[in-house]
A = this chain, B = another copy of it.
Amino acid sequence: MPEQVLDDISHRRYNPLTGSWLLVSPHRTKRPWQGQQEAPSKNVLPEYDPKCYLCPGNKRAQGDSNPQYAKTFTFVNDYSAVKEQQQEYTPEVNKDDVASLLLQAQPVTGRCYVLTFSPKHDITLADMAAAEIVPVIQTWTRIYASHLSATHPLRNQADKALASIPTNPDGEVDPPKAQLRYMQIFENKGAAMGCSNPHPHCQVWTTSALPEEPGKEFAQMAQYRGEHGRHLLADYAGLEMEKQDRVVWQNEGFLVVCPWWAVWPFEVLILAKRHVRALVDLTDGERLQLAEAVQEVTRRYDNLFETSFPYSSGIHQAPLDCTEEEAETSWLHMHFYPPLLRSATVRKFLVGYELMAEPQRDITPEQAAARLRNCGGELYRKLLN
């Protein structure tokens, strides 16, 4: 096949989800793989840390105390990037005024949550069984459902999800005071990703504006649907299942791939196989299947360099307030962007050329997928005595 040559030559690949290109330089990785160069890292954290602001029963910065929660726990971030109430701001816009063109601003309101995955301070998603990750996905789903507008195309799905998923008093949140536009669920794991607290948790930022990245993806997905009458990510999932080169793992409901356009060395995309528009579309069985996919990705990451692998992950799905058309265009998926390149300490920097010109990578996504396919099996930490 003609693509074989891409293992050897510099080329650009197109990301159809964002409409942008990246530079791939595979000839720079021709040296043989060095293998493990550092001792496997052990878990040296306590199960409970009296100084952790996320552990059950502890006090947080602003004086609130955490409940003795058993599974997940959700609270409004004490240092939210957006707030529900703030001074009004209505920009003066005069079409021919240079300031109106070049100094544009718009106010943003919203609410930011912190969500712990477990009361245990010393574990990560990689340490948790899929069944233990299900409550996390249930909490995400209930929070998402409780933020949907009354007239949302997924309102019925949301009500069904709320009725069928058991409530968790420590994971519930109040509906927002005013309808918001988008909910971004994301996790920063590890000091390399600026996360100073190892207690397993993610953040959920809800905003009155649709942010850039999901906005670009919607535009690209809508354009593809308009031109081809099919879903971009349906076509892409089908293509990857046929080619297999970039598939890391799959079950009935989800496909795990190193995408064709991956920027980060071991970037992964979890894709719903059927048309799931948002978390509230998932059945009980699919929530377990998504938990399995998350478990496989995070465990393989840790096994890869026998370290607690840093990453940022995030879920893209239908906006909180949207038209029928926008809901139809949405396709649930989860991105993982990890910075490690060759070992627990050799990282990839997105700097210089990548900031000024375009993203660049050396190892190909096909090589990355092959490595991740080969490091399933038990979490390495459990095999250390």
Contact = CB atoms under 8 A, between A and B. Distances in A.
A349 B193 contact: yes
A300 to B, nearest CB: 20
Nearest to A216: B20
B89 A184 contact: no
Interface stretch (A53-61, A64-72, A105-113, A320-328): A105-113
A52 interface: no
Contacts of A6: 89, 105
Q: Helix, strand, loop or mixed for chain A's interface?
A: mixed
A11 interface: yes
Contact of A10 (B24, B108, B203, B211): B108
A119 interface: no
A337 to B, nearest CB: 5
A102 B25 CA distance: 20
Q: How large is the interface on A (under 10, 10 to 19, 20 to 34, 35 or more residues)?
A: 35 or more
A360 interface: yes
Nearest to A183: B357
22 contacts: A5-B89, A9-B86, A10-B107, A11-B89, A11-B105, A12-B108, A14-B104, A20-B212, A28-B79, A98-B238, A101-B224, A102-B260, A103-B260, A184-B353, A186-B353, A186-B357, A193-B351, A205-B353, A312-B355, A312-B356, A314-B352, A335-B355
